[in-house]
Structure 1
Amino acid sequence: MNRSAYALPVIVIAIAAALSSIFIVDEREKALVLQFGQIVQVKEEPGIGFKIPLIQEVVRYDDRILALDVDPLEVTPLDDRRLIVDAFARYRISNVERFRQAVGTGGEDAAARRLDSILRAETREVLGSVSSNDILSTDRAALMLRIRNAAIAEANALGLSVIDVRLKRTDLPAENLNATFARMIAEREREAEDERARGREAAQRIEAQADRTVVELVSDANREARVIQGEADAERNAIFAQAYGQDGEFFEFYRSLEAYGKAIGTGNARLVLSPDHEFFDYLRNENGTAAVDN
């Protein structure tokens, strides 16, 4: 009975020790086995691992691709046009042993800070060697590749592998941005004024052409009207001549009546003429005296 009472705690302790000596690494991580702070085992493949209980400990690191947002930084290209650059990087822990030696107990946060410093320095160096137009252009893949390649060597010393570097946004500083906007507004206003000037010139040209066309049309219409009127007058005169030619005496009588109507038909007209003037031929009485007051 007493022997069984002592055996049970021993079994429990043995089971606990056996369980504490086993650790599992899944496919998303890598692990280091440390003994008094020193690396004694590297576990990079997923599966079961073993360690000495109480003496050794397991430190796990993420084996997935990690993302790092680089804080916005100011760069000065070759043309001294300052720019604010916002970038991000993707990386992973490629060598956990070197990573542990480089960052110590700081872990992934310390590595991210050191990688941020590396990327900021390389970004300034690469973007400072080109013009702002190259940076602001849509084809920036070559610049991003240069930054990545320059950061790879330094990142390898930390046990990190830089997979990609991207420039998310490239802006002008606020004071430069306002000046740029003002210059753009002035350029657009100048272009608009040029367009208005060209429009006014075209309008004047069209108006002058329209006025000339009007003058030509009116001139042609007047000439045609005079031709038609002349032809009509000629035809009228021909009709009158034909009609009057049939009776000459009636023609003279009719013309005299028209003359009388125009001369004494209205108003208080007075004619100072000799009574025997031929104008009164058709107004004389039978005795030869004029029938009007002379």
Structure 2
Amino acid sequence: MRKNIYILPILVIVVATALSSIFIVDERNKALVLRFGQIVNVVEEPGLGFKVPLLDEVVRYEDRILSLQTPTIEVTPADDRRLEVDAFVLYRIADIIQFRQAVSFGGLREAEAQLENILDGQIRAVLGSEGVTSNTILSPERSALMENIRVQAAARADALGLAVVEVRLRQTNLPEQNFDATLQRMIAERDREATDERARGREAASRVRALADRTYDEIIAEATRDARIIEGEADAERNRIFAEAYTKDPEFFEFYRSLAAYEEAIKGSNSTLVLSPDSEFFNYLRSDTGASAN
């Protein structure tokens, strides 16, 4: 009976010791086993782990992807339009030994404070680099800028044992005090672009009009030249016909020419001729025999 009294406490102590040497790591965590602050074991797979009771301490760390939102920061792109930007980052603890050595007892709070500083510097560096304007930040090229920030931040976060999964720029706004000035600058730029476009349009219109005027003058000159050539050929043909008619019947030719002269002389309703009745002009009016009546 007396032996049972001693056995029971011993069993309780053994069971308690056995239970205190066992710990559980679920799928959401990783764990470090520390002995007097020194790492003696790393548990990265879920399941049961073992430690030395009273000597070892188990520290668990998140194995899931974590998120962090940065405070709003002010950046100045290449076009000197100041912008207020905030971002959020997705990250995870990739190397818990490196993480423990980097942040010591600070844990996630210390790691996030350092990660904020890293992101602050990289956002300013990328968005303020040469060739990056406010229009670039607000354009589809924004995705490339965010990837550039992620790559550079990941390189520096590696020293903390962190893996940066993704960086996203949430809001990109103008500071309130700069909004009106920026709006006026944008209006002035658009007015200048419109003026330049109108000037280019007027220049193009002048070239078209000059080309049209030159083409018109060339067409008129060619038409005038062709008309004069045709007139000259017609006159030559007329003279040839007259010459042939004269050689065939000189008297009829004279009669024809006299009739043409009469038609020209008494054209109109108020034509008046003052001539001597004996003038040769009236030869074909005085006699039916024409010039033979002289």
Which secondary structure state, in structure 2, belongs to the residue aligned with residue 267 of structure 1? coil
- Find 1:226's aligned residue among 210, 219, 228: 228
* 1:119 corresponds to 2:115: yes
Q: Partner amino acid for 2:163?
A: I
Q: In structure 2, what is the equivalent of residue 90 of structure 1?
A: 91
Aligned 8 A contact 1:147 1:165 in 2: no
Equivalence map 1:1-294=2 (5 Å): 24-30=24-30, 44-45=42-43, 46=45, 47-49=47-49, 61-75=60-74, 81=82, 83-92=84-93, 94-95=96-97, 102=105, 111-125=107-121, 132-133=128-129, 136=132, 138=144, 144=150, 147-148=153-154, 155=160, 161-164=161-164, 167-169=167-169, 171-175=172-176, 176=178, 179-180=181-182, 182-264=184-266, 267=269, 269-284=271-286
Describe the superposition over 1:44-91 as per-residue Cα deviations: whole angstroms up to 9, x where unpaired: 4354356999x9xx9783552432222333145698855424141413
Matched positions, count = 262
Q: Partner amino acid for 1:66?
A: I
Aligned 8 A contact 1:31 1:42 in 2: no
- Alpha-carbon distance in structure 2 between the residues aligned to 1:78 and 1:208: 45
- Alpha-carbon distance in structure 2 between the residues aligned to 1:48 and 1:219: 105
Aligned 8 A contact 1:87 1:165 in 2: no
Aligned 8 A contact 1:70 1:116 in 2: no
**Aligned-residue RMSD, C-alpha:** 5.0
Describe the superposition over 1:157-201 as per-residue Cα deviations: whole angstroms up to 9, x where unpaired: xxxx21227542283534446655653453344234223312211
Aligned 8 A contact 2:118 2:156 in 1: yes
Shift, 1:234, TM fit: 1.2
Change (3 A) 1:181 1:42: farther
Of stretches 174-183 and 68-77 in structure 1, the one that deviates more from structure 2 is 174-183
- Alpha-carbon distance in structure 2 between the residues aligned to 1:253 and 1:85: 110
Structure 1 unpaired stretches of 5+: 1-12, 104-110, 156-160, 287-294
Change (3 A) 1:102 1:17: closer
- Alpha-carbon distance in structure 2 between the residues aligned to 1:191 and 1:69: 42
Which secondary structure state, in structure 1, belongs to the residue aligned with residue 273 of structure 2? coil
Aligned 8 A contact 1:75 1:124 in 2: no
Shift, 1:212, TM fit: 1.8
Which secondary structure state, in structure 1, belongs to the residue aligned with residue 277 of structure 2? coil
- Alpha-carbon distance in structure 2 between the residues aligned to 1:33 and 1:261: 135
TM-score (norm 2): 0.63
Of stretches 255-264 and 88-97 in structure 1, the one that deviates more from structure 2 is 88-97
Aligned 8 A contact 2:77 2:127 in 1: yes
Describe the superposition over 1:94-118 as per-residue Cα deviations: whole angstroms up to 9, x where unpaired: 1598899725xxxxxxx44433322
Aligned 8 A contact 1:78 1:130 in 2: no
Shift, 1:203, TM fit: 1.8
Which secondary structure state, in structure 1, belongs to the residue aligned with residue 92 of structure 2? strand
| Identity across the alignment (%) | 42
- Alpha-carbon distance in structure 2 between the residues aligned to 1:269 and 1:100: 126
- Alpha-carbon distance in structure 2 between the residues aligned to 1:186 and 1:114: 47
Change (3 A) 1:233 1:131: same
TM-score (norm 1): 0.63
Describe the superposition over 1:181-231 as per-residue Cα deviations: whole angstroms up to 9, x where unpaired: 653453344234223312211221221122122112212211221121111
Shift, 1:247, TM fit: 1.8
Shift, 1:141, TM fit: 6.6
Mark the structure with the bigger radius of gyration. Answer: 1
Q: Partner amino acid for 1:199?
A: G
Structure 2 unpaired stretches of 5+: 1-11, 134-143, 289-294
Q: Partner amino acid for 1:250?
A: F
